[in-house]
Chains A and B, each alone.
Chain A
Amino acid sequence: MLLIPCPWCGPRDETEFTCGGEAHIVTPRAPEDLDDEAWGEFLYLRTNPKGRCAERWVHTHGCRRWFNVLRDTVTERILTVYEVGARPPQAGDD
């Protein structure tokens, strides 16, 4: 079970959180202008990387705030957490 450092509550067990999938998926500004394929890509296709992965998590059984987690999917190490809307830290920042 991961130990997730909530930016507001500190480190808590994974069971207190819900994962919202990959972060930084930008909702298209004008969805109506997209063809089905482009819209389908936005809806369904995710990178599922091996290694560094930015994810959205929410502290469901705590402060109920959403935030981003940079996690290594191989080592399960959590490299950093940062606010919704902030840019993902670049490789080497840690």
Chain B
Amino acid sequence: MTERNRLEAGGRIDRSHPLEFRFDGRSLTGYRGDTLASALLANGVHLVGRSFKYHRPRGVLGIGAEEPNALVQVARGAQTEPNVRATQLMLYEGLEASSQNRWPSLAVDLGGLADLASSWMPAGFYYKTFMWPARLWPFYERAIRRMAGLGRAPAAADPDDYDHMHAHCDVLVVGAGAAGLAAALAAARCGARVILADDQSEAGGQLLGERYEIGGRSALAWVSGAMAELRAMSEVRVLQRTTITGHYDHGYLIGCQVFREPGQPDPVGVPRQRLWKIRARRTVIAAGSIERPLVFPDNDRPGIMLAFAARAYCNRYGVRSGSRVVVVTACDDAYRTALDLAAAGVGIAAVVDLRPSGSGHLPRQVRARGIEVLIGQRIVGVRGRARVEALRTQSSAGGAIREIACDLVAMSAGWIPSVHLFSQARGELQFDERLGVFVPLGRLENVVCVGAARGTASLRGALQDGFFAGQVAAQACGLAGREEAQDIATVEPEEAPLDWRGIFGAASLGGRQFVDFQNDVTVDDVRLAVREGYDAPEHLKRYTTAGMGVDQGRTGNINVLALLAEARAEAMTTIAPTTFRPPYQALSFGAIAGALVGPLHAPTRKTPMHDWHAGRGAVFENVGQWKRPRHYPSAGETLQAAVDRECLAVRRGVAIADVSTLGNIDVQGPDAEAFIDRIYCTRMSALGIGRCRYGLMLRQDGMIFDDGIAARLGEQHYLVSTTTAGAASVFAWMEEWLQTEWPDLRVYCTSVTEHYAQIALSGPRSLELLGPLVDIELDAMPFMSMREARVAGVPARVFRLSYTGGPGFEIAVPAGRAYELWTTLFGAGERFGIIAYGTEAMHVLRAERGFIMVGHETDGSVTPGDLGFEGRLAMDKPFIGKRSLRRADLLRLDRKRLVGLLTQAPDCVLPEGAQLLDEPIDSPQSAAPVAMIGHVTSSYFSAHCARSIALGLVRGGQARLGDTLYAWVDGRAIEVTVTAPRFLDAAGKYAYG
């Protein structure tokens, strides 16, 4: 045994498995079963970090999730994780941990000067000092973050695997302490499907740190028996190391199970963490309680620890956290620390009781061991900086100050029930005068707190609570409760009550008395905040940052609220505690994402021609889940050069594009015609069979939400095309109207997007190419028509239409034959110099012609009139959104209207989104704010027009043709001329040349 503070025997560590680890570069040893905190304490390391604001030296305060100080950075290679609680980090061979928030080293920290300067840093310091001028805030923020940091975020991607599990149960029991085990046993014996989730590495809860007995034998033997019984039942699932962190509606809870620690090697391929999503019919919260710290000057010095933590490190890990201990307490329970440590051979200097008397059975036992008990005391301060050296105390009546030499102070102000999960589920809390804390007020419909989590102080009470709640929960699930023999009797004499009112040092004491260790909030900060008017709990919390650290104020909140009540001179019952919100314990992004990362993040949709595109070097872009070729660069070609080449091929020869991703919805039924008329603002019913028409779809508020071509395939049969991104929402919208508003219409809609692939052949030579391959007369097809045909032997629908504004066809074929047809068309087109074009060229081509693109020219606030469509509205039939178009606001002449925009310099391409102004302004510093009268919606360089072109929305744009406006770009006003939103003349030539 090399750890100097490890006891010869005892504890639940596996002494046959020694482990080596490093802390701040120092090589240390521990055992399997240790946490990092217990191993550090075994090695005599108390100083584990620097505090957040004042950089004060800090030691281990607690033993579990409540720990505010011992947050460490765990790193292995490039992988690093900050803010890991040393009290929950299970030791493993080769662990590399380091302290946080110190520079250059833990022992010598220059930031500690902040401690000396702390009278300049009261509550709200950051707000008061650094808010003005606002534009310097980013600079302040950088500096503050360097000083007041909590660890470093990893720079590289998380290499670990995570997974998710969905589970359902009758009864979820949170916590495997005495009450939780009893509840799980009772529910399971009734036949309930039980999940028992516990955040520790083994069941037992607080019992693991105590020397209790249950039914005449050791409590831990009872725990083993209970666990053996539970594990033998097939409908019981026990989840150790699983923290239930979120409690949502209808019995939905989220838990995170840890299989490996950060940086721990993975020899067998288990995930690092698993996120449990549990739906429970009944939930029993047996989350235990957290010990409450005392408040006195310099109560944050290393070596000052919660009393339970001090005895639990001894009982559970075989660690003596000090060799000369003073127990300071406002309750009887902490006397156990003196008894347990004394039994382990640790020297107890004294028990200092803040209460006027100490006469219960525990104080009697302590006295009987010859340990000095001082009553009616108040703590004046401590000596020691990096480690406590003495406690200074005096009678609360005044008098001489006595200094008691010690190297460990074990303190207790009673226990704080862990009501977080109850409160998250909107359970109400009430103040309990006897316990001095907030406890659950009654129960929720399907949720109950038991044991210490509801303020039950005794072990016997916790067991009874648990058994009862487990039975009730099982009965509520329709299972017959079995009468339980109470084999759990354990004799516990009454303990004297806590005196929670006496736990604050007087203001006159001076020194810093911490209430929130993690965020460095002191008694003075709270009192100052109240004086400055922040006297509501929510305001106080935000102003002082109390309770806003990663520990969420588990140890501190109650003391902050008690101080608040004191400062307001009101009873605690008038204080409404702030609501607990999920998560109870932070979740890593890895756990939240689970396996859905990288290629599994979202489904990828590919068209049948995808491999062809990839083989031709296409650069893909994501459109929704689809991969679409954006352009097909030749070797060394820039995006612009490729787009120019593709656009010119469409304008001068022939080019081919994959338009399979556009949504297709097949609409059939006796009332299809009426339905189609109602969903488009243009008239569609007038279409003859085999004809197509472009249309806009509006929401009820009159705003455009999608567009596309509708084709009439038969008397009662239409094919509706949508944008790629709008396919799913248009389909859902149709279903909604049919189901909810028009159930009388006999219409059936089917999404057929993936049944067909669609190929666009564009350009003046497209007819020449396609003609010989089809079995119909293409010449006879009018523009905007459709014919069924065979194209190179493939059954197809041939559409004569284009989105480019020039001649062209679109050919829809069954998806399974699309690749074949594509390659046939491409082969046949080679003698015409055919090339493929991508989405970027499509955008340029349609903008040349002035065709709008949903999402560019529309943004949910654009009407058909705004785009110049008023002449094509069919106002003599009903359609969705029609009435809204008559709203006075939508008829205003100064609404933004679609226009074309041309820069003076032909090669100047405006950025999309650039704001448009009436007047030039010279610099951002110019005096008055300038009104924005519009913005650029689409902007490209057009090779065909041999210049840049842009579309925009401009206030009153219809009356501004020829006007000069200014686009604000990178701090510069660029002159633009307003034109009609179309850059080609009837012959397809640039119209303004």
Interface residues of chain A, those whose CB is within 8 Å of chain B, are 1-3, 13, 18, 20, 27-28, 31-32, 34, 36, 39-40, 43, 56, 58, 60, 64-66, 75-78, 84-85
Q: Contact between A76 and B250 (Cβ–Cβ < 8 Å)?
A: yes
> Is B622 close to A, CB under 8 A?
no
Please name all residues of chain A whose beta carbon is closer than 8 Å to the beta carbon of B743 when the two chains form the complex: 84-85
Please tell me if the beta carbons of B250 and A39 are within 8 angstroms of each other in the complex: no
Contacts A76-B249, A85-B743 known; A40 to B882 CB distance under 8 Å? no
Contact B883 A32 (CB under 8 A): yes
Count of B residues near A, CB < 8 Å?
Answer: 22
Q: Does B134 contact A (CB under 8 A)?
A: no
A-B contact pairs, 10 of them (CB 8 A): A1-B248, A3-B249, A13-B252, A28-B883, A32-B886, A58-B736, A66-B740, A76-B249, A84-B739, A84-B740
Cβ B249 vs Cβ A66 within 8 A: no
Contact yes or no, A2 B739, CB < 8 A: no
The contact string, 1 if C-beta is below 8 Å from chain A, for chain B 747-786, is: 0000000000000000000000000000000000000000
Within 8 A of A (CB), among B709-741: 732, 735-736, 739-741
Of the candidates B250, B735, B741, the one whose C-beta lies within 8 Å of that of A64 is: B735
Q: Which of A2, A56, A84, A85 contacts B250 (CB 8 A)?
A: A2
Neighbouring A residues of B739 by C-beta, 8 Å: 65-66, 84
Kindly state the separation between the CA atoms of A56 and B801 in the bound complex, as whole angstroms.
Answer: 40
Interfacial chain B residues near A76, Cβ < 8 Å: 249-250
| Cβ contact within 8 Å between B887 and A36 | yes
Per the bound structure, the CA–CA distance linking A36 and B887 in Å amounts to 6
A32-B883, A60-B732 given; A2·B740 CB < 8 A: no
Instruction: Please give me the residue from chain A that is nearest to B702 by CB atom.
Output: A43
* Given A58-B736, A66-B736, A84-B740, A40 and B250 contact (CB-CB distance below 8 Å): no
In the complex, B964 has a CB within 8 A of chain A: no
Residue of A with least CB distance to B738: A66
Interface contact B888-A36, CB-CB below 8 Å: yes
Cα–Cα distance between A32 and B701 once the two chains are bound (Å): 14
Assess the A31–B740 pair: CB atoms within 8 A. no
Chain B interface (Cβ < 8 Å from any Cβ of A): 248-252, 279, 445, 700-701, 732, 735-736, 739-741, 743, 882-884, 886-888
Q: How far is the CA of A13 from the CA of B248 in the complex (A)?
A: 12
- Chain A residues in 8 Å Cβ range of B250: 1-3, 76, 78
Residue of A nearest to B254 (CB): A1
Residue of A nearest to B253 (CB): A1
Which residues of B have CB within 8 Å of A85? 743
The 3 lowest CB-CB distance pairs between A and B, nearest first, are A31-B883, A3-B250, A1-B252
Contacts of B888 in A (CB 8 A): 36
Closest CB-CB distance, A54 to chain B, in whole Å?
Answer: 13
A77 to B743, CA, bound (A): 29
* Residue from the list A43, A58, A77 in contact with B701, Cβ < 8 A: A43
B740 in contact with A34 (CB, 8 Å): no
Are B248 and A39 interface neighbours, CB within 8 A?
no
Report whether A56 and B740 are in contact in the complex, using a CB–CB cutoff of 8 Å: yes
The distance in angstroms between the C-alpha atoms of A35 and B702, with both chains bound, is 15
Q: Beyond A2-B250, A36-B887: 7 further Cβ-contacts under 8 Å?
A: A31-B883, A32-B883, A36-B888, A40-B887, A43-B701, A56-B740, A66-B735
A18 to B732, CA, bound (A): 11
Partner of A2, one of B249, B701, B735, B886: B249
Give the Cβ gap from A12 to chain B, nearest Cβ, in Å.
Answer: 10
Given contacts A20-B736, A27-B741, A31-B882, contact A39 B251 (CB under 8 A): no
Shortest C-beta distance, B900 to chain A (Å), equals 32
CB distance from A38 to the nearest CB of B (A): 10
Please give the distance in Å from A36's CB to the nearest CB on chain B. 5
| A3 pairs with B883, CB closer than 8 A | no
Contact yes or no, B741 A39, CB < 8 A: no
Which residues of chain A come closer than 8 Å to B251, judged between CB atoms?
3
Q: Which residue on A lies nearest to B741, using beta carbons? A: A27
A17 to B445, CA, bound (A): 24
CA distance A18 to B882 in the complex (A): 26
A67: nearest chain-B partner, CB-CB: B739
| A34 x B883 contact (CB < 8 A) | yes
Q: Which residues of B contact A39 (CB under 8 A)?
A: 883-884, 887
- Residues from chain B with a CB closer than 8 A to the CB of A84 are 739-740, 743
Contacts of B279 in A (CB 8 A): 3, 13
Q: Please report the C-alpha to C-alpha distance between residue A13 and residue B249 in the assembled complex, in whole angstroms.
A: 11
CB of A86, distance to nearest CB on chain B (Å):
12
Interface centre among B251, B736, B741, B883 (most CB of A within 10 A): B883
Smallest CB gap from A31: residue in B = B883
A20 vs B732: C-alpha distance when bound (angstroms) = 11
CB proximity of A33 to chain B, nearest CB, Å: 9
B581 CB to nearest chain A CB (Å): 15
Chain A residue nearest to B699 in the complex (CB): A43
Query: What is the minimal beta-carbon distance from B529 to any residue of chain A, in angstroms?
Result: 32
Q: In the complex, which residues of chain A have a beta carbon less than 8 angstroms from the beta carbon of B740?
A: 20, 56, 66, 84
Of A1, A28, A40, A85, most buried by chain B (CB within 10 Å of CB) is: A1
B736 close to A43 (CB less than 8 A): no
Could you tell me the distance between the alpha carbons of A82 and B735 in the complex, rounded to whole angstroms?
18
In the assembly, what is the distance between CA of A2 and CA of B251, in Å? 8
Q: From residue B583, how far is it (CB to closest CB) to chain A in Å?
A: 14
Measured CA separation A63–B252 after assembly (Å): 23
> B741 to A1, Cβ gap below 8 A?
no
Residues of B within 8 A of A56 (CB): 740
List B contacts of A75 (CB < 8 A).
445
**How far is it, in angstroms, between the C-alpha of A56 and the C-alpha of B883 when the chains are bound?**
23
Q: Which residue of B lies closest to A78 (CB)?
A: B250
Chain B residues whose CB sits within 8 angstroms of the CB of A66 once the complex forms:
735-736, 739-740
- By a CB distance below 8 angstroms, the chain B residues around A28 are 883
Name the distance in Å between A1's Cβ and chain B's nearest Cβ. Answer: 4
Q: Is the CB of B884 within 8 A of A43?
A: yes
CA of A75 to CA of B428, assembled, Å:
12
Chain A hits for B701, CB < 8 A: 43
Q: How far is the CA of A85 from the CA of B741 in the complex (A)?
A: 9
Closest to B249 in A: A76
Q: How far is the CB of B700 from chain A (nearest CB, A)?
A: 6
Chain B residues near A34: list those with CB within 8 A.
883
In whole angstroms, how far apart are the Cα atoms of A90 and B887 in the complex? 36
> For A43, what are the chain B residues with a Cβ–Cβ distance below 8 Å?
700-701, 884
CB-nearest residue of chain B to A66: B739
CA distance A47 to B741 in the complex (A): 20
Do A3 and B736 contact each other (CB < 8 Å), given the known contacts A27-B741, A85-B743?
Answer: no
How far apart sit A31 and B740, CA to CA, in the bound complex (Å)? 18
Cα(A16)–Cα(B740), bound, Å: 19
Closest to A3 in B: B250
Q: In the assembled complex, which residues on chain B have CB atoms less than 8 Å from the CB atom of A77?
A: 445
Compute how far the CA of A88 lies from the CA of B883 in the bound complex, rounded to whole angstroms: 28
Please report the C-alpha to C-alpha distance between residue A77 and residue B884 in the assembled complex, in whole angstroms: 36
For B732, what are the chain A residues with a Cβ–Cβ distance below 8 Å? Answer: 18, 58, 60, 64
Distance (whole angstroms) from the CB of A60 to the closest CB of chain B? 7
Max chain A C-beta neighbours (<10 A), residue from B279, B736, B888:
B736
Chain B residue at smallest Cβ distance from A18: B732
Q: Which residue of B lies closest to A32 (CB)?
A: B883
Give the docked Cα–Cα distance between A45 and B251 (Å): 32
CB distance from B579 to the nearest CB of A (A): 15
**CA gap between A20 and B249 in the complex, in Å:** 20
CA distance A2 to B279 in the complex (A): 10
Q: How far is the CA of A36 from the CA of B884 in the complex (A)?
A: 8
Query: Smallest CB–CB gap between A66 and chain B, Å?
Result: 5
List the A side residues contacting B248 at CB < 8 Å: 1
Within the complex, the shortest CB–CB distance from B445 to chain A, in Å, comes to: 8
Q: How far is the CA of A64 from the CA of B252 in the complex (A)?
A: 24
> Is the Cβ of A3 less than 8 Å from the Cβ of B882?
no
Nearest chain A CB to B802 CB, angstrom units? 34
Contacts of A36 in B (CB 8 A): 886-888
How many angstroms from the CA of A78 to the CA of B251 in the assembled complex? 13
A93 to B445, CA, bound (A): 20
Whole-angstrom CA separation of A3 from B884 in the bound complex: 36
Cα distance A28–B878 in the bound complex, in angstroms? 12
**Residue in chain A with minimal CB distance to B888:** A36
Distance in Å: Cβ of B774 to nearest Cβ of chain A:
38
